[in-house]
Amino acid sequence: MKGDHKSMGTVTVSKKAALQAAEYIAKNTRGVASMTDRSKRGDISRFFLGKGNPKGVYMIKTDNGFNIEIYVICSYGANAGDICKNISSNVRSELEDNMGIPINCVTVRVEGVDTAGK
């Protein structure tokens, strides 16, 4: 039976599924208070794309893969540098290794600090 391979078809991961995975990872990273959009444009695009579109995560297609942008609000007292490194490496690992999506870069931008829990 060596060499006998049967094709079982292909698996396609939707852009929305990849965005949702990235959002889930970012939201559940220690020190992240919430996700935020990069501008008011996010609110407008969410209106047209629907509520299911992940907040604060953007995927840009390039010739050789995807660039991911993630926008977060950090918790007061959290180390923003560590948060960004953790999100970046975890999102890259999930999308590349587990979903087979080629990633050029993951950019994490801290848009503010949540001082409510201070």
pLDDT tens digits, 26-83 = 999 999 999 998 765 555 554 554 555 678 999 999 999 999 999 999 999 999 999 9
1 pLDDT exceeds 90?
Answer: no
Distance of CA 76 to the CA centre of its chain: 22
pLDDT of residue 52: 54
Please give the sequence-ordered ranges of beta strands (E in DSSP) within 1-118, or none if there are none.
32-35, 57-62, 65-75, 103-114
pLDDT of residue 10: 83
Amino acid at 110: V
Among candidate residues 47, 48, 46, the one with its CA nearest the CA of residue 58: 46
Tokens representing 69 are 């942008």
In percent, the amount of the chain with pLDDT more than 90 equals 67
Q: Give the CATH class of 15-114.
A: alpha beta
0.75 exceeded by the pTM? yes
The H or E element containing residue 44 is helix 41-49
